[in-house]
Amino acid sequence: QVRLVESGGGSVQPGGSLRLSCAAPGFSLDHYTIGWFRQAPGKEREGVSCISSGDDGTYYANSVKGRFTVSRDNGKGTVSLHMNELKPEDTGVYYCATDVDGSSCLSADYNSWGQGTQVTVSA
């Protein structure tokens, strides 16, 4: 439904930081739930973080709590995932997704996905 584009991936050393961005060219995501997911080769896709439509409530996987922060970029219509204290196990392709119907993080039925951006954390 909505074309999403992730950017900001790259290669960093353990303990480093990256900022990922989720954008919909020509469209604002300010009022949409945005979920972040990641997938490593041979592994199932897992949820990482989410920011809800409406109240902007945020959610994080236990593995990234205290290290990752999801936020809306006011005035830009985009959503960022700030990743700090990166670990090798954070390596994977990161995707953002949205529920076009505007459901919250806890009830979202993600129906629009980006192409993914690679994050590699290694020494």
What's residue 15's pLDDT?
98
HEC profile of the chain = CCCCEEECCEEECCCCCEEEEEEECCECCCCCCEEEEEECCCCCCEEEEEECCCCCCEEECCCCCCCEEEEEECCCCEEEEEECCCCHHHCEEEEEEECCCCCCCCCCCCCEECCCEEEEECC
> pLDDT tens, 107-123?
888 999 999 999 999 99
Give percent of the chain with pLDDT exceeding 70: 99
| 41 pLDDT higher than 80 | yes
What's residue 62's pLDDT?
97
| 71 pLDDT higher than 90 | yes
What's residue 103's pLDDT?
85
